[in-house]
Amino acid sequence: MRGNPVDRRSILAGLLASAATVSLSTRPASAQGDPLASWNEGPAKTAILNFVSAVTKEGTPDFVPASERIATFDNDGTLWCEQPMYVQLAFALDRVKALSGKHPEWRNKQPFKAVLDNDLATLAKAGEQGLVGLVMATHAGMTTAEFEKIASHWIATARHPKFGKLYTELVYQPMLELLAYLRSNGFKTFIVSGGGIEFMRPWTERVYGISPDQVVGSSIKTKFETNKGQPSLIRLPAVDFIDDGAGKPVGINSHIGRRPIAAFGNSDGDFQMLQWATAAGGRRFGLIVHHTDPEREYAYDRKSSFGRLDKALDAAQSNGWAVVGMKDDWKRVFSFQ
Amino acid sequence: MRGNPVDRRSILAGLLASAATVSLSTRPASAQGDPLASWNEGPAKTAILNFVSAVTKEGTPDFVPASERIATFDNDGTLWCEQPMYVQLAFALDRVKALSGKHPEWRNKQPFKAVLDNDLATLAKAGEQGLVGLVMATHAGMTTAEFEKIASHWIATARHPKFGKLYTELVYQPMLELLAYLRSNGFKTFIVSGGGIEFMRPWTERVYGISPDQVVGSSIKTKFETNKGQPSLIRLPAVDFIDDGAGKPVGINSHIGRRPIAAFGNSDGDFQMLQWATAAGGRRFGLIVHHTDPEREYAYDRKSSFGRLDKALDAAQSNGWAVVGMKDDWKRVFSFQ
C-alpha cells in the first residue's frame, strides 16, 4: 500500500471536523469503583481492562514504561457526535451566514449561495474545491487569537439539530471514562483528528481533559507578523497539513514523536493510525467505535458521508482490533441519557 | 516587520542544529535548598526567582494558572554548546564520511568532497543549497526508526573536539537547574529549536527531562507506507518546516497551541520567539544567554557563524529581557567543571 492517495473526502474530513462541552466534573468517571461504569460487561470492556493491566504490570513481558504509554484518539465519531455533519462543517456554514453581509457577491456565487439558501443538495455537489473555498473564507484572514475567540463563542452557543444540546454536550460518556482511566494508569492521551487543530484546542482541555499541546489536527498555514511592536500570527488561506488517513501517522510522528501503543477510531480515516499503533512488537491495542444505535445516537458505517467505516471494519478481526457496538457495549452514550 | 524573510543562515540553522548526555540524576538540581545553585547571585537570578514567585501566587494580579505556564527554550547555545559548529552539522559531516564508501561519486562532488577532505573553508562556501544537500543525503532516504537508531548511536559515541566529552555532557548545568525549577513550579517546559526535531528527540528526555512531544524543531517531510503489513514512515529529501526566526512562533502555535509566558534563547534566531512570549498582557519573562566565557566555554555574539546574537541583544533592554553573561552569572557552565 505504497503512497496511499488522499481520497476525495479526506480534504473535507481533514478541514471540517470536530466539538462538545460537558464539564468533566459533572459526571464522576467511576461509579462504585468501576472506572468504566458506562460500559456494559463484554469482550470490549474486558479487552480494555486486560490491556491496561498487562502494560502497567512491572516485571512482566508486556510491561511498558509510563513515558511510552501513548494513546491516540480520533475525535469526530470517536469522542463526539459527527452526524448529521462534522461539527466543524456546521461551524463553517454558520460563519458563511454570519459573514454574508460583508460579502454580497456570495448571493450569486457557489457554494456560498447554496449555504445561504440552506440548499444542502447543491452544497453536496460543490466537491472538494468548493468546500476548501468555504473553509478558507471562514477560517483564514484573521489572527489566531481572533479565530480562537470566534470558535470559542460558536461552540459555547450553537446547538445540535437533533438533540438541541451544545455540541460539547454530545461527547460520549464511555469515552470520557476511558480517557480518564488511561490517564490514571500513566497514559498520555492525545487527540489525532482530521478536524482543524485550532477549532478543537479552545475546548478540549475543559471537555476531555486534553491540553492544547496534546491535540493533533489538520491545519492551515500561519505567518508571524509584528505591527507597532505587537506580534501576531495570521491565518493564511492555504492548507498546511491534512491529518487524516495516511496523514495520521505523519501527524503523530510530528507532534508526539513516539509510536502509540493504543489507538481509538471509528472510520477509515483512522485505519493507518490503527495500523501504526498496533503493528509493532509488544502488547498493543486498537479499538473501533461502531455506530449501531439509531435511538440514542445514529447508526451508520459503510455508506456514510461522514465517518465512513468500511475498510477498517473489514480489517478489524485480522488485526485484533476491538469493535465496540454503541448499542450493545455502552450503557449510555451521552451523560444526559 | 511584515514578512520577515528567512535569512540565508536560517536554512542551515534550521536543519543543522543541536546535542549532550549528562544524566539528570548525576547532579542534584538544588544544593542546600537553592534550586538555582549554579547561578551566581545577581540581577538575572533575581529576575527568574521573582517571575516564578509572581506567576505562581494565587489571588494576585500576576497569577497564571498552571495549565498556562508554558516555557520555551531554544536548544543550540541555550541548553548546550553550539561551537565550534552546531552539533547536528558535526553529525551530518560524520555521516557523509560513514556513507562515502557507498557513494564513490562524492569524492569529486562538492560539498561532499570538502567534507571528505576536511576542507572546512571550501565547505563554508557551499552556501545554503550545498548544506541542504548534505542534510538530505544524510538525514533522508530511511525510515524514522532507522534514523533514530543512527542518531542515537552517534550521540552516544561522538565527542566534542575541544572538550573531548560526549556532546550530551556539554549541556549547561545552570539551565538544567532552571528547567527543573520551572517544572517544580508547575511549568511545562518545551524545546523550540532550529535543530532537527528527530535529531533531538532520542535523547532530550534523558538529558533535559523533556519528552519527545515537548520538542519542537525543524523537520523534513515523511510519508507513511506499508510493506507486507508492516507500516513505516519514510524520511523524504524535502524540507517540511524551518523552526527558526519567524518560524518559531509558528512552530509554537502548531505544536503547543498556547502562547508561552517565558522564553529562553541566545541568538537572533530566537528574537521572534522572545517577542511572541513577552509582548502580551500579563507578567512575562524573556532571557538571553550571552556567551561571554572563552575559558569555560566560548565567547561570541554579533559575528558568529553559529548562534549569531546581534539584533536580539540590542532589543533586550527595551523589551525587558534578562541578559545572562555566562562568565559572570554562572558558577559553572558544565557539570564536570
Per-residue pLDDT of chain A (337 residues; tens, 9 = 90+): 333 334 434 444 444 433 233 334 344 444 469 999 999 999 999 999 999 999 999 999 999 999 999 999 999 999 999 999 999 999 999 999 999 999 999 999 999 999 999 998 899 888 888 888 999 999 999 999 999 999 999 999 999 999 999 999 999 999 999 999 999 999 999 999 999 999 999 999 999 999 999 999 999 999 999 998 899 999 999 999 999 999 999 999 999 999 999 999 999 999 999 999 999 889 999 999 999 999 999 999 999 989 999 999 999 999 999 999 999 999 999 999 8
* CB-CB contact of B74 with B192 (8 Å): yes
Distance CA B310, CA B223 (A): 38
Nearest by CB to B2, which of A197, A225, A249?
A225
Percentage with pLDDT > 70 across chain B: 91
Largest Cα–Cα distance of chain A, in whole Å?
A: 68
Distance CA B105, CA B96 (A): 12
Classify residue A310: in a domain, yes or no. yes
Classify residue A302: in a domain, yes or no. yes
Measure in Å the smallest separation between the Cα of A331 and chain B Cα atoms.
33
CATH code: domain of residue A218:
3.40.50.1000
Instruction: Name every chain B residue with its beta carbon within 8 A of the beta carbon of A190.
Output: 213
Instruction: Name every chain A residue with its beta carbon within 8 A of the beta carbon of B236.
Output: none
* CB-CB contact of A286 with A279 (8 Å): no
pLDDT for res B324: 98
Which residues constitute the domain of residue A185?
11-86+143-329
Q: What is the DSSP string of B96-144?
A: HHHHGGG-GGGGGSTTHHHHHTT-HHHHHTTHHHHHHHHHHHHHSSSBH
Domain count, chain B: 1
Q: What is the helix (H) or strand (E) element at residue A216, kind and residue range?
A: strand A215-227
Q: Are B250 and A3 an interchain contact pair (Cβ–Cβ within 8 Å)?
A: no
Classify residue B147: in a domain, yes or no. no
Classify residue B195: in a domain, yes or no. yes
pLDDT digits 0-9 by tens, A205-245: 999 999 999 999 999 999 999 998 899 999 999 999 999 99
Classify residue B65: in a domain, yes or no. yes
A36-51: string of b/e by CB count within 10 Å (b at 16+)? bbbbeeeebbebbeeb
Instruction: Name every chain A residue with its beta carbon within 8 A of the beta carbon of B254.
Output: 197, 219, 222, 240
pLDDT for res B132: 87
pLDDT digits 0-9 by tens, B171-221: 999 999 999 999 999 999 999 999 999 999 999 999 999 999 999 999 999
Q: Are B2 and A222 an interchain contact pair (Cβ–Cβ within 8 Å)?
A: no
Measure in Å the smallest separation between the Cα of B66 and chain A Cα atoms.
11
The CA–CA distances, whole Å, from A29 to A37, A50, A106, A214 equal 7, 19, 47, 21
Classify residue A323: in a domain, yes or no. yes
Strand partners, B222: B235
Q: Are B219 and A254 an interchain contact pair (Cβ–Cβ within 8 Å)?
A: yes
Residue B271 region by backbone torsions, left for phi larger than 0, else alpha for psi between -120 and 50, else beta = alpha
Nearest by CB to B276, which of A223, A231, A257?
A231
Classify residue B336: in a domain, yes or no. no
Residue A249's nearest CA partner among B197, B232, B323, B190 is B232
Classify residue A18: in a domain, yes or no. yes
The ipTM (two decimal places) reads: 0.91
Q: For residue B318, give the chain A residue with the closest CA.
A: A229
Neighbours of A32 (CB within 10 A): 6
Q: Are A224 and B276 an interchain contact pair (Cβ–Cβ within 8 Å)?
A: yes
User: B19 falls in which pLDDT band (50, 70, 90)?
Assistant: very low
* Numbered residues of chain A with Cβ closer than 8 Å to any chain B Cβ: 1-4, 67, 144, 188, 190, 197-198, 201, 205, 211-215, 219, 222-227, 229-231, 233, 240, 246-247, 249-250, 253-258, 272, 275-276, 279
pLDDT digits 0-9 by tens, A11-25: 444 444 332 333 343
